[in-house]
Structure 1
Amino acid sequence: MLENSVTVFERDGLWVVSVVEHGETLEKEFLNEEFARTYAAGQALRIQKKVRQRN
């Protein structure tokens, strides 16, 4: 099972937030990096994990 995590990365000109929780992955795309990071921070607080940056 995947560990709970929140990751922010850029893909095809969009900012993606990947949230893994209880083995399930949800990806949400944003046009704006700041919006993606704000959403990621909220999700990280919710699942009590730090946001990871993927290159």
Structure 2
Amino acid sequence: MSPQTETKASVGFKAGVKDYKLTYYTPEYETKDTDILAAFRVTPQPGFHLKKQGL
């Protein structure tokens, strides 16, 4: 039988919603000629009402 190991949930990835400015927003970033702009189209599922969601 192999020995048991203890794992810590707080180490590594932590689930949850993070504030945008803490993870992606970098105000001092300067664009480069090699940067790529990506755009995505989001289509709501049938039955989704923007006004009911407060959007």
Task: Please give the TM-score of this superposition, normalised by the length of structure 1.
Answer: 0.19
> Whose helix proportion is higher, 1 or 2?
1
> Whose strand proportion is higher, 1 or 2?
1
Q: Work out which structure has the larger RCO, using CA pairs closer than 8 Å and 6 or more positions apart in sequence.
A: 1
Larger Rg: 2
